[in-house]
């Protein structure tokens, strides 16, 4: 996008942190069913609801700050594999990811 070496004002145009965006309200304003998930359980419930209900859905998933770098890149693969694990192990892993 050409922002490498850009000044502070140019970088600010690409920063989604300020001003904070309420993606749930944004989605709802466009007629899309929207939910915010701050825990693994909330995300899974919202995801299951989206799969059961026709139409588009927006899930604003708040990722804990402890998940960065490699942990963040591995997270989608880990979440996919939970269905194949025994429930007690899957729950323990979920609590370890997002207590």
**pLDDT of 10-68, one tens digit each?**
777 777 777 888 999 999 999 999 999 998 889 889 999 999 999 999 999 987 777 66
CA distance 67 to 64: 6
**From start to end of the chain, where are the E strands?**
33-37, 57-61
Average pLDDT of the chain, as a whole number: 82
């Amino acid at each position: 996008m050409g922002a490498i070496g850009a000044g502070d004002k140019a970088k600010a145009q690409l920063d989604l942190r300020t001003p904070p965006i309420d993606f749930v309200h944004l989605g709802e304003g466009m007629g899309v069913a929207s939910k915010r998930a701050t825990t693994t359980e909330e995300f899974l419930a919202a995801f299951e609801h989206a799969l059961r209900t026709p139409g588009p859905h927006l899930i604003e998933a708040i990722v804990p700050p402890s998940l960065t770098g490699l942990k963040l890149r591995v997270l989608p693969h880990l979440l996919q594999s939970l269905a194949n694990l025994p429930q007690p192990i899957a729950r323990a892993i979920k609590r370890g990811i997002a207590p």
